[in-house]
Structure 1
């Protein structure tokens, strides 16, 4: 047991990494679809690249989804909606009408003929009034019955469900359903118009017959008050009938018999062959879905996932080992892989959206922001290849997303300009659209047959790319990464810490600015993160704010406090600016990557002036050199190594008596040579060729800064 704990302690990081990769394999395998996959790849309009294909079993030829949709739309387009006739409305309104008629007739007689109910009148006159009443009642009742018999419907119910001339509806009266033209029924508007028309016609007819017409009574009767809809859309019945009609649609066109030749090698995949191949694929995958094949499919899925994740591990091991050295970076990359494979599996199982809606290029953009383009592209390929195994049209999907990923990586040159994200989103949409159109034209030989709905998915995909901007900030805070946007903010000289440095130690601030310019120019020549280096250079000497008067660049009155101090005491103050700088940086929440520049910019060198002075005075105390040595660490990145060189060269250049080209060249050569002899760059990934390029850059920059100017004569 003790040996086990010792082994675990000595290999803790490797065990943790192995656990992360193993957990990733298990999770991805769990999300991996269990359905079988057709073994052949084919495209419409392209030759069949496999051997002659024969049917191993009978299977139906399924209609393409587009044809089924067209048939479904045709049936639903010709569908006659069902309306239910409500006779209770007719009875209720007719009773209301008869009651109102009697009341209004009595009121009419008392008003116009001064007759009241029960009063004695001339028998003949009374009979004439009764005949008039019956005639009016018969006429108005006929109007209402004429309206209610076919039915009155709300105009919105008709217009929403029935369009075009010659269309029918089905009216349900009790248990009987009758078909009727929708123009035979009345809307409320048509019913009102019919009443007005009939009243006018009646008036003309009565006048022509020389009969007295009290049209005023008919107006007062106001038949419109007794018109209400009595036909109502029956949604339940209509839905059931629609479903029944749709279910009756045949989903097949015929059968392929066992041992029948399906397609020959080299034969072009025509529309009919494509339909048969799609039917075979559908039948094949449904047969593979049986429980007996579950464990074999699980084994196959596991092998694919293991190989894919193993390739990712080997790439990191051989080309990006520094990522494997960081548990946070390893976790971050594997987490992105798992998240997007999980999203893809959800889309596969639900079918809620298209796979083209998933913003796979989100991953390479994020990786490109925090690492580099090569790593971003490789991780993108791993995700796309794994997902490509279970998506439909695998070749099309993989090709489209590889192109989009490459466009995203190389179009997003920086992440601190917000407009760059909008440009990248537009370029991604264009790359999707153009490549998809090219594939579609090859397959269909016509642009008309493209599935234009995919362009909506491409647009949504591109719009989601804009979410990378806030996501970068979130990942920075969660995982401690550093983006260009943050570096740009930190390198602003209006930052409070830099303003304090400029106010308290102006000489140090100017030195830092010059170092930043020198270092930035050098890193652009040999390659590296120029923005990170510039930011680190600006902050590398912030520790000098503590006891700033002890540093020569801040002494303005020709008084040097070191003259009253011992050599080791002076060296301690100088060396201490590194530790104070780190404390100040952490207090102000500067990123670790910037703090690394503060820690390493002197490496493990000595404070040469005080050390040499001490040795001259005490030649037998050479072993006490540790008092004059910076604690380190040595530079361990290309950027920190460049900063060490630039810092030393810039500081030493200020002590030159004459700024000739030879003196500047000798200065740069001697300082960097001494640093190499002191083994300050042994832990940094920098070559001698890089160092030579850096030296040449420094020389040119210093000559430009300190070039001799013409002395103008006094007036």
Structure 2
């Protein structure tokens, strides 16, 4: 059992990557469309680019969405409404009428006898309540058929047969004229207006249920294509009926393939394709970016961003396929470039687009535009910490989208008359969404503990707490670090390396010296050297330990790992030669391991640049009468010696780049040590 635990502990990083591989594959497959892939890509209004297509099997032609929508609207418009009839209201109204008449009738004011008015009113009430009274107003025509539900019985009648209270005035006038009782018109109207109540109300639930039942019974098909029948000929424009027939064939094809019998095989196919994409990503990281591959947090970060793009695209496609270009896919290479490098950003972008090709309609057009936009993102976005650069790059990306989409449309249509200018709004919205990169980078830094150029800009502030402490405790080291930062930044700019990263690394690379500053010559204010009283081996240990102590201070102050890498590697595995030679002179022999820095050697262009700049700047202080020739030979000697020791073997830096760095260092040192004109006192 102990052996299993030991094996697990040794291989936990690999086990985690295997788990991440299968988990990511499962998630992506879950979001893929649950159906077989139709063999042909087509668009409405575009010519059919394949050979003549014949029906591989018999299938029904589905009605177009617009056609079905119109039929449903027609059903709603022509549906017969149900009204609920309340038979108890009539008797209550008659009783109320008699009571009100008894209270309001005055013999001296009316010629018509009370009993006659009562008879007329009761008969009128009975007559109008026979078909029903309503106070609701509907936009129905008078001959519109309605259903009147009285208990369990349902009767048909016209909407005009219902009595509306708004017609009461005219009805009373006609009633008194017919009975020659004009003197009682006002009395009758006032009483009837007060006592009449609605006994017919619309039954919305029953009406809606009837409509839904009719809609469900609607036939979604409008014909059939027999097996072997021609669906579309080559060059025909895909529109109208042809477009609907192709959509019907596609739906039937995908539903037939995604059956219980074929489910497993389709799943196997999807699994292989998605697995290949993630396998390529792992192989790329392992071979070309081992520092990322060996860091599970960074690997998880990359996979999270891929999954996020797949998830957002799936979400948008569920709303409407036209909105697919709103998803800011270019934010992926932009962010990965900010945290890693352009090559990683572009490679991951390409793999993500391959996955999205399974999801989106018109996949070739989509993938082409996204590939081009991703390349433009990598080429244009630089120095992301400068906000204006992001705006400029987003503008360029949006322009590329618009130009690419326009070109595709012209190729497919042959003209611009049918161009939908609204489509360009989606690309503008995509560009605006890409501006969300800045807050997203901040969020990722806090969650995943990564560092971007934006954070590096903050760290380069010499008024920060740690650099202030360095300047107070070890002013000579601080001044040395500033000089190294300037040399390293200029060199990085010349060969296209990350100048901001190397500058920050240079500012912090010697922070370990502030724990024991007087043991380093740049901080010794007088000619007294503390190492004169120490054994060479002791002195070498103090010098070497500034690297270890620097790492400890950096971790205590939460400096990012990318900055700590400069502290670890700025001396590589070089030898503290002065004390090594002194030890040999005193004792005749010396253990070289006691005088060697623990490493590792630089593993990037930036860390290699710092090693060169640091060594050259520190050693330049020993030049007594520097001239241009002496400085040139001096720089060549130091860097060639580092190359001979193999310090740059893992740094991914070329001989040409090293020669360029030499030229920059020579030029900068010549400017620093140039001769000044002596002015008379």
Normalising by structure 1, report the TM-score: 0.78
2:599 matched to which residue of 1? 632
Post-superposition CA distance 1:121-180 (Å, at most 9, x none): xxxx6695773796599589969987997744456xx4xxx59x9996846353124343
Determine which of 289, 300, 321 is the counterpart of 2:269: 300
Higher mean displacement: 246-255 or 665-674: 246-255
Instruction: Tell me whether 1:235 sits opposite 2:204 in the alignment.
Output: yes
| Partner secondary structure for residue 291 of structure 1 | coil
Cα distance in 2 for partners of 1:532, 1:228 equals: 84
Instruction: Tell me whether 1:519 sits opposite 2:488 in the alignment.
Output: yes
Verify the 8 A CA contact 1:523 1:639 in the aligned structure 2: yes
Residue 537 of structure 1, CA deviation: 0.9
Determine which of 321, 344, 349 is the counterpart of 1:380: 349
Residue 695 of structure 1, CA deviation: 0.9
1:259 matched to which residue of 2? 228
| Partner secondary structure for residue 646 of structure 2 | coil
Verify the 8 A CA contact 2:330 2:370 in the aligned structure 1: yes
Post-superposition CA distance 1:469-505 (Å, at most 9, x none): 4543454455443222222222222321112112222
Instruction: Tell me whether 1:692 sits opposite 2:641 in the alignment.
Output: no
Verify the 8 A CA contact 1:43 1:443 in the aligned structure 2: no
2:639 matched to which residue of 1? 672
Q: How does 1:183-332 map to 2 (within 5 A)?
A: 225-226=194-195, 232-247=201-216, 249-332=218-301
Change (3 A) 1:180 1:409: farther
Verify the 8 A CA contact 1:508 1:541 in the aligned structure 2: yes
Post-superposition CA distance 1:407-453 (Å, at most 9, x none): 5545543543567667767766666666556656765767668596x
Cα distance in 2 for partners of 1:441, 1:305 equals: 33
| Partner secondary structure for residue 209 of structure 2 | helix
1:172 matched to which residue of 2? 148
Cα distance in 1 for partners of 2:210, 2:419 equals: 32
**Equivalent residues, number:** 672
Change (3 A) 1:530 1:233: farther
Cα distance in 2 for partners of 1:409, 1:226 equals: 81
Q: How does 1:592-631 map to 2 (within 5 A)?
A: 592-615=561-584, 618=586, 620-631=587-598
2:553 matched to which residue of 1? 584
Change (3 A) 1:631 1:316: closer
Cα distance in 1 for partners of 2:96, 2:274 equals: 78
Verify the 8 A CA contact 1:441 1:447 in the aligned structure 2: no
Verify the 8 A CA contact 1:437 1:450 in the aligned structure 2: no
Residue 285 of structure 1, CA deviation: 1.9
| Partner secondary structure for residue 292 of structure 1 | coil
1:63 matched to which residue of 2? 63
Name the Cα RMSD after superposition: 4.6
Cα distance in 2 for partners of 1:258, 1:96 equals: 74
1:117 matched to which residue of 2? none
| Partner secondary structure for residue 508 of structure 1 | helix
Residue 622 of structure 1, CA deviation: 3.8
Cα distance in 2 for partners of 1:414, 1:145 equals: 87
| Partner secondary structure for residue 374 of structure 1 | helix
Higher mean displacement: 590-599 or 546-555: 546-555
Cα distance in 2 for partners of 1:379, 1:391 equals: 18
Determine which of 107, 113, 119 is the counterpart of 1:131: 113
Verify the 8 A CA contact 2:90 2:129 in the aligned structure 1: no
Residue 544 of structure 1, CA deviation: 1.7
Verify the 8 A CA contact 2:112 2:181 in the aligned structure 1: no
Higher mean displacement: 530-539 or 671-680: 671-680
Verify the 8 A CA contact 1:85 1:173 in the aligned structure 2: yes
Residue 523 of structure 1, CA deviation: 1.0
Cα distance in 1 for partners of 2:542, 2:304 equals: 46
| Partner secondary structure for residue 544 of structure 1 | helix
2:620 matched to which residue of 1? 653
Cα distance in 2 for partners of 1:263, 1:212 equals: 81
Residue 597 of structure 1, CA deviation: 0.9
Cα distance in 1 for partners of 2:358, 2:463 equals: 52
Verify the 8 A CA contact 1:597 1:643 in the aligned structure 2: yes
Normalising by structure 2, report the TM-score: 0.82
Post-superposition CA distance 1:316-356 (Å, at most 9, x none): 455445443444444443454455556667888xx455472
Verify the 8 A CA contact 2:346 2:378 in the aligned structure 1: yes
Verify the 8 A CA contact 1:37 1:390 in the aligned structure 2: no
Change (3 A) 1:4 1:98: closer
Verify the 8 A CA contact 1:373 1:409 in the aligned structure 2: yes
Cα distance in 1 for partners of 2:673, 2:562 equals: 32
Cα distance in 1 for partners of 2:9, 2:560 equals: 29
Cα distance in 2 for partners of 1:153, 1:455 equals: 51
Cα distance in 2 for partners of 1:75, 1:420 equals: 57
Verify the 8 A CA contact 1:562 1:570 in the aligned structure 2: yes
Determine which of 547, 552, 568 is the counterpart of 2:521: 552
